[in-house]
Amino acid sequence: MLGSTRTKALYTWCRSARSTTLSDCSRGAFASASAIATRTCFIRASQNSMNATGIPLKEPSVSAAAGDAEQLERAYIDASTRVPVLMFYTSAMAWLILGTLLAGFVSFKLHSPDLFSDISFLTWGRVRPAHMNVMVYGWASMAGMGTAIWLMARLCRTVLRYPLLLVAGAVFWNLGVLLGVGGILLGDSTGYQWLEFPHYAAIILFVAYTLVISWAVLMFRYRRGEQIYITQWYLLGAFLWFPWLYAAGQLMLFVVPVQGVLQSAVGWWYANNLLFLWFGAIGLGTAYYMIPKVIGRPVYSYHLATIGFWSYALFSSWTGMQRLVDGPFPAWMITASIAATILTMIPVATVGLNHHMTMQGYFPLMRYSPTLRFTVFGAMSYTVFSVIGVLISLRSVARYVNFTQASIAYSHLGLYAFFTMVIFGSMYYIVPRLVGREWRYASLIKLHFWASVYGIGLMTLMLLAGGYLQGADMQNPSLALSESIETAQPYLRGQTSGTH
């Protein structure tokens, strides 16, 4: 019965080969299905003489897509997005490599603090914020914008207009990140988490983003059709929320700075909402597109998706202050933030249920589709990330984990386990449609997935466990602070293994 069910699922999935890549309907899938299903899938995929995806990525001829206007439309849209999307992707990958190298160095410094301690720009206090800003603005933001550009063009069913806006935006964004990271390493950091870039770099980033959001608004304005998909809701929300967050953070901390402890409140509000309303919105929107697209069936419930979106937008924006439990702030501010964090379980439940019901009966396909494998893992990690966020926001738990390695583990869960894995999945789906060829080595894709799961999992577990034990020692008045740091040392060494 299990074999029959799997064969049926594979047969149904392979029948939609015209909208998936050959990577997503690989030889492993053929071997697991019946001979009839195999031949049918292969024939359907082979009928598309353009390429394995059935979507030509260079300027197509009319004869190549005769009688298939929808395929031709998608081909022209993909061709129009090729240059800007690949520019964002290649830039993001370059920043990811640099960020990973910096992460390894930072991890070593935690248990070997004397490493290059006589070189000022290689001290932990400079390299650590440089690493995080490379990952946040270099890797995650550029990769997220690249995916969002392609998705918006596809769902708006409009050939990309004004591509030079996006190209200029990518150039200026890279310049801003480069100057910002250089400024941090030279000691010109502002000292606020994820807002460490000096003012001259922040201005360039804002100019770059203005070019990108101008394109997004124009694309949405000239969309074809009246229907707005749930993915578009999340992406448009992310495009509008980021400038609000970034402008508010810059204004309240540097232009017209608030005084005293309110600066910490603004800093944590910004960092938490950047994780939710920028990266989280792009990640959820991408997952809502990729999962139904790969398996060839619609989203289970748009009613659930609507509830999830609006509750996500409402409650996420109130979070952040829960990271300052027992701090010198009015109790109502922290309590409101804790309550909002708990209420984020509403979008978590609706999104999780929607994804699960959409995937029901198709989970075996994760073995064969890299896009599905990465995206589903990322979607599941969103649930884990949110549940842990609720737990560490509770006062009884926050006293043990705030200002320890556990709070770093929480941020890494959101940025790496959830967002990065979903974006990796989208890249494996989008890039073949832009370059006109499939991924060459399926074994390397599988290695990439399992290495990512191992690294993220080990790093998160080590930081959570070490952070909790460190916090427990900090609560013990008979122990010196140095002893709590020593308690976390074995776990920090374990985290180094996960980083590499």
Residue 326 inside a domain? The answer is yes
Same domain, yes or no, for 273 and 154?
Answer: no
Q: Average pLDDT in the 82-110 region?
A: 95
Check if the beta carbon of residue 76 is closer than 8 Å to that of residue 68.
no
Q: Does residue 30 register a pLDDT over 50?
A: no
| Whether the Cβ atoms of residue 265 and residue 321 lie closer than 8 Å to each other | yes
Is the same domain home to 198 and 291?
Answer: no
Angle at the Cα of 45 (from 43 to 49), degrees rounded to 5? 100
- Percent with pLDDT over 70 in the chain: 86
445 and 351, same structural domain? yes
User: What pLDDT, in 10s, does the model give residues 196-231?
Assistant: 999 999 999 999 999 999 999 889 988 988 889 999
Q: pLDDT by residue (tens digit) across 301-345?
A: 999 999 999 999 999 999 999 989 988 988 999 999 999 999 999
pLDDT(154) > 60: yes
Residues 264 and 157 in one domain: no
Domain of 294: which CATH number? 1.20.210.10
DSSP category for residue 361: T
| pLDDT-based confidence at residue 429 (cuts at 50, 70, 90) | very high
The answer to whether residue 6 is domain-embedded is no
Give the residue with greater pLDDT, 262 vs 71: 262
The verdict on 112 and 189 lying in the same domain is yes
Indicate the residue among 201, 226, 251 that finishes a domain. Answer: 226
Assign 495 a pLDDT band (cuts: 50, 70, 90).
Answer: confident
Domain boundary among 191, 226, 261: 226
Is pLDDT above 50 for 25? no
What is the three-state SS of 437-480? CCCCCHHHHHHHHHHHHHHHHHHHHHHHHHHHHHHHHHCCCCCC
**Residue closest to 339 by CA, chosen among 362, 315, 363, 311:** 315
As a whole number, mean pLDDT of residues 37-64 equals: 36
Q: Are residues 168 and 267 in the same domain?
A: no
Q: Where are the alpha helices (DSSP H) in 157-301?
A: 163-185, 199-221, 230-250, 262-273, 281-295
For residue 93, pLDDT over 70 is answered with yes
Sign of the dihedral defined by the CA atoms of residues 253, 258, 263, 269, in that order? negative
Q: Let me know whether 316 and 249 are in one domain.
A: yes
- Give me the domain span that covers residue 212: 74-226
Residues 238 and 315 in one domain: yes
Assess whether pLDDT exceeds 70 at residue 88: yes
What pLDDT is recorded for position 315? 97
Q: Does one domain contain both 244 and 366?
A: yes
Inform me whether the pLDDT recorded for 289 exceeds 70: yes
- Domain check: are 276 and 419 in the same one? yes
Per DSSP, 227 falls in state -
Query: What is the number of alpha carbons within 13 Å of residue 446 lying toward its C-beta?
Result: 11
Q: Is residue 357 part of a domain?
A: yes
Measured CA to CA, the distance from residue 458 to residue 11 in angstroms comes to 37
**Bigger pLDDT: 113 vs 220:** 220
Residue 272 lies inside a defined structural domain of this protein: yes
Name the domain count of the chain. Answer: 2
Q: Are residues 442 and 306 in the same domain?
A: yes
498 pLDDT tier (thresholds 50, 70, 90):
low
Can you tell me the mean pLDDT for 35-53?
35
Q: Are residues 201 and 240 in the same domain?
A: no
pLDDT (0 to 100) of residue 500: 56
Average pLDDT in the chain: 86
Q: Which residue type sits at 24?
A: D
Measured at the CA of 453, the angle between CA 448 and CA 458, to 5 degrees, comes to 130
Residue 335 lies in a domain: yes
Average pLDDT, integer, range 399-418 = 92
Q: How many whole angstroms separate alpha carbon 344 and alpha carbon 387?
A: 9
Residue 295, domain member (yes or no): yes
pLDDT of the residue at 499: 66
Average pLDDT over residues 272-292: 97
Q: What is the per-residue pLDDT across 54-75, written as a single tens digit (0 to 9) for each?
A: 333 333 333 444 447 888 888 8
Last residue of a domain, one of 210, 226, 242: 226
